[in-house]
Amino acid sequence: MPTLAEHASQSTPAAVHESGRADFISVRDFNFFYGKKQALFDINMDIPEKQVTAFIGPSGCGKSTLLRNFNRMNELIEGVHHSGEIQLVGKSIFDRNVEVIALRRTIGMVFQKSNPFPKSIYENVVYALRISGQTKKSLLDDCVERSLRGAALWDEVKDRLHESALGLSGGQMQRLCIARAIANRPKVLLMDEPCSALDPIATVKVEELIRELKQEFTIIIVTHNMQQATRCSDRTAFFYLGKLVEYDNTHKIFSNPSEKKTEDYITGRFG
Amino acid sequence: MSAPDPESQPIADFKSRLDLFRLLCQAAAALAVLTLGWILYEIIYGAWPSINKFGWNFLTTAAWVPNREKFGVLPFIIGTVASSGIAILLAFPLGISIAIFLNENFLARPVRQTVRFVVEMLASIPSVVYGLWGIFVVIPLVKGFGDWATVHLSGVPIFSGPAYGNSLLTASIVLAIMILPTITAISRNSLAAVPHTLREGAYALGATRWEAILGVIVPSAAPGLVAATILALGRAMGETMAVAMLIGNSSRLSWSVLSPSGTLAGLLANQFGEATGMQVNSLMYAALILVLITLLVNLAGEAILRYTQRKTAGIH
Ligand SMILES: Nc1ncnc2c1ncn2[C@@H]1O[C@H](COP(=O)(O)OP(=O)(O)OP(=O)(O)O)[C@@H](O)[C@H]1O
Ligand SMILES: [Mg+2]
């Protein structure tokens, strides 16, 4: 069985434009339940390849829930179920013969709170490679340098790769987590409020990084920061009470939204 | 403060109550320290003639012949360390495994709770009951195993010589069961203290459940697991009744775990009642050594626990 990553690179879909396929991830009639409580209602959206898509909306509207469905992290919670479909490059991620392990290697994730493992910087970065059985030192070394450069952290840590990751600053830890997430060259990078625990300078660095990373990855970022959404996303989706209210080019959403709710939210009238 | 403050009265009240409370706490703390000091003083005072006479040799000679006034506790120190060491070797893997199973949802919640309850119950069984159980159950088992081992494994030093039921191995097995709740409870706590975000981080990178547990969660909890072991070790070293009933209380040095051995605590329990003269002083000396060893072990455990707390505080 080809892995999803191979699948993604092999496919030559019709809807290819400059930066890639427009429906790299497609969500169809998607409903999601925590036990009896429905958290997502009838979501339909296509997320384009190699662009940054921002999820915005008031607290509790289901942004994280949808994000965590893309790599099936919600399955770790007891009593959840869903209906509808999510496809990655035209292939259902819930399909019986999709291995969740392989899916998660194709779709990396960065969390709100940085969560470096209590290991060295080096071991944090190569974690995904180690668990996929890679032991070749030269390969691991290359991966560490490439990933840390990719996360704009290399220069700051290259002399202390074997020191504990817990000695880094908050912003450095978050960039380390980004490096760790891109080490295995995923196709998609999910980021759930990656800057909310960072100071403005660290935030700028991560935002710059996001703009660079989209050359290579499809990025979905959840944010409460409107400026951040305008600064680094191409498309923006506004959620409200578990529903997708509006989804359009970021510029359009923030300059001339079609929905009253969206306008109220981005102008700070509620939320 | 110059301006009249309507709330200053209740605050003053609160303060004086706080002061009283603080005083009570300080008194209680002082009492604890004083008691420890007093006990140590009494032990050292009682042991003094023996300390004077035997000095360091007491620790390094293997002789316990009261009627010829020959006293040396080396076999008992070794027996104490060996019995608790073997007990840890047996209880550690089991305790950690139980802790992992209790902490992760491999089993349905009712099953987990039952297992947890049973393991915690083990801690409340009196020592003497463990001793009796050891006599009726473990001794025959160890004797049976020993008879087999001395024939089939005679080349292995720890199974050499004749096999006895009252032996180091018997005592260690029972000790292992006695310290299992300590190891399980503390390990489970430190596993539960590993931030959930770390677990998610591992899963998000494509780790399987076991990879997440063994590669991230257990290492993150490692200092706590070490602390659990050391605290359990302290407990095993001081355990008296069950060990005295099972170990054979011999002062002969032997490599075999199937031979009788002795521990410091067992020695004291067995001999204090009928001891006189220098024997009393020497038993006091032995008690002092036991106290120092367990104190050392507990201090080490405390230090490691603190280290854990600092470390987990840094993770977030
Ligand atoms: N593990 C869970 N069990 C039950 N309900 C949950 C769980 N996680 C989230 N929910 C509920 O699902 C809804 C959507 O939550 P979600 O975390 O997706 O919101 P969010 O948009 O990410 O909010 P925030 O901006 O505060 O992060 C909320 O009503 C929340 O209470
Ligand atoms: Mg959220």
Q: Which of residues 177-196 of B touch A (CB under 8 A)?
A: 195
Contact A196, A111 (CB under 8 A): no
Residue B12 within a domain? no
Q: How far is A4 from chain B (nearest CA, A)?
A: 13
Cα B89 from chain centre? 12
Percent pLDDT > 70 in chain B is 94
Chain B residues with CB under 8 Å of A166 CB are 311, 314-315
Interface of A with B (CB under 8 A): 71, 73, 76, 78, 101-102, 104-105, 108-109, 111, 113-119, 127-128, 130-132, 166, 177, 180-181, 184
Indicate which CATH number applies to the domain containing B220. Answer: 1.10.3720.10
Summarised one tens digit per residue, pLDDT across range A165-202 is 988 988 899 999 999 999 988 999 999 999 887 788 88
pLDDT over 60 at A14, yes or no: no
The SS3 assignment for A181 reads: helix
Q: What is the pLDDT of residue A271?
A: 56
Closest approach atom of ligand 1 to CA A74: 1
Residue B183 within a domain? yes
Residue B199 within a domain? yes
**H/E run at residue A222:** strand A218-222
Cα four-point dihedral sign A82, A85, A89, A95: positive
Residue B197 within a domain? yes
Task: Give alpha helix (H) positions in chain B.
Answer: 8-54, 57-60, 74-103, 109-122, 127-133, 139-152, 168-192, 196-204, 209-212, 218-238, 241-246, 264-271, 278-315
Q: What is the pLDDT of residue A5?
A: 44
ipTM of the prediction greater than 0.90, yes or no: no
Summarised one tens digit per residue, pLDDT across range A119-128 is 899 999 999 9
Q: Which residues line ligand 1 (CB under 6 A)?
A: A 34, 37, 39, 57, 59-65, 77
Q: What is the span of the domain harbouring residue B228?
A: 74-312
Of the pLDDT bands very low, low, confident and very high (cuts 50, 70, 90), residue B6 is low
* B183/A61 Cα distance (integer angstroms): 43
> Cβ–Cβ of B205/A115 closer than 8 Å?
no
Rama region for A50: left / alpha / beta (φ>0; ψ in -120 to 50; rest): left
Q: What is the pLDDT of residue A13?
A: 39
* A53/A219 Cα distance (integer angstroms): 6
Q: What is the pLDDT of residue A196?
A: 85
Q: What is the pLDDT of residue B8?
A: 59
Q: What is the pLDDT of residue A10?
A: 40
Q: What is the pLDDT of residue A18?
A: 53
- Choose among B201, B206, B311: nearest Cβ to A117: B201
Residue B3 within a domain? no
* A140/A138 Cα distance (integer angstroms): 5
Of the pLDDT bands very low, low, confident and very high (cuts 50, 70, 90), residue B7 is low
* B121/B304 Cα distance (integer angstroms): 27
Centre of ligand 2 to C-alpha A239, Å, is 12
- Ligand number nearest to the C-alpha of A243: 1
pLDDT over 50 at A17, yes or no: no
Summarised one tens digit per residue, pLDDT across range B27-76 is 999 999 999 999 999 999 999 999 999 999 999 988 888 888 899 999 99
Of the pLDDT bands very low, low, confident and very high (cuts 50, 70, 90), residue A12 is very low
Count of domains in chain B? 1
Q: Is B209 on the interface with A (CB under 8 A)?
A: no
* A91/A95 Cα distance (integer angstroms): 8
Task: Pick the residue whose CA is nearest to atom 4 on ligand 1.
Answer: A34
Residue B282 within a domain? yes
Cα–Cα separations (whole angstroms), residue A238 to A70, A74, A241: 17, 21, 10
Summarised one tens digit per residue, pLDDT across range B163-182 is 888 999 999 999 999 999 99
Centre of ligand 2 to C-alpha A55, Å, is 10
> Cβ–Cβ of A131/B211 closer than 8 Å?
yes
Residue B174 within a domain? yes
Summarised one tens digit per residue, pLDDT across range A71-112 is 999 998 889 999 999 999 989 999 988 889 999 999 999 998
φ and ψ at residue B113, rounded to 5 degrees? -65, -35
Contact A109, A73 (CB under 8 A): yes
Residue B1 within a domain? no
